[in-house]
């Protein structure tokens, strides 16, 4: 329990560092660490929704620099809010996973746009199976 508490503190430290550099909409942890079925070597998948201006790969590089002194194996998935909404509408499995089973580490009011998009898609028939995501017609 103490180790998990330390890891949580490190995650929050990473979130705070990211927030100090970017206008952040939300940060969610998803994947095995969020579900609880992780192995000791499992990384921490973080969905970071923010007002990014850089190209995707530059975002990752810059974010890794920002959190370089946080001693956790973090895999970053940085998107703008518009990108995340569009990806969700197309049934992107990573976004569906993050929103269906992720744990919110930080959110502001703009996150409601993504959350309501997800809820509306689920209401209209969005489903995740073992192998795919079924997306309802528009």
CATH number at residue 123: 3.30.460.10
Distance, in Å, from the CA atom of 102 to the CA atom of 29, rounded to the nearest integer, reads 5
What are the CA-CA distances from residue 101 to residues 6, 86, 123 (Å)? 22, 19, 17
Per-residue model confidence (pLDDT) at position 117: 96
Distance, in Å, from the CA atom of 66 to the CA atom of 70, rounded to the nearest integer, reads 9
Residues of the chain with pLDDT under 50: 1-2
Per-residue model confidence (pLDDT) at position 4: 62
Q: How many domains does the chain have?
A: 1
Read off the DSSP letter of residue 105: E
Contact 79, 87 (CB under 8 A): yes
Provide the angle, in degrees to the nearest 10, between the axes of the packed helices 2-21 and 56-66.
Answer: 120
Per-residue model confidence (pLDDT) at position 131: 82
Q: What is the CA radius of gyration of the chain?
A: 15
Per-residue model confidence (pLDDT) at position 1: 34
Per-residue model confidence (pLDDT) at position 102: 96
Segments forming the whole domain that contains residue 50: 2-134
Question: How high is the mean pLDDT of the chain?
Answer: 93
């Amino acid at each position: 329990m103490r180790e998990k508490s330390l890891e949580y503190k490190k995650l929050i430290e990473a979130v705070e560092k990211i927030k100090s550099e970017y206008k952040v909409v939300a940060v969610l942890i998803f994947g095995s660490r969020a579900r609880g079925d992780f192995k000791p070597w499992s990384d921490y998948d973080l969905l970071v929704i923010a007002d990014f201006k850089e190209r995707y790969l530059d975002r990752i590089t810059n974010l890794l620099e920002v959190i370089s002194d946080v001693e956790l194996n973090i895999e970053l998935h940085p998107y703008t809010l518009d990108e995340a909404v569009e990806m969700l509408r197309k049934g992107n499995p990573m976004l569906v996973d993050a929103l269906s089973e992720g744990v919110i580490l930080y959110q502001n009011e703009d996150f409601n746009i993504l959350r309501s998009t997800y809820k509306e898609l689920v209401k209209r028939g969005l489903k995740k199976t073992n192998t795919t995501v079924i997306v309802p017609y528009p």
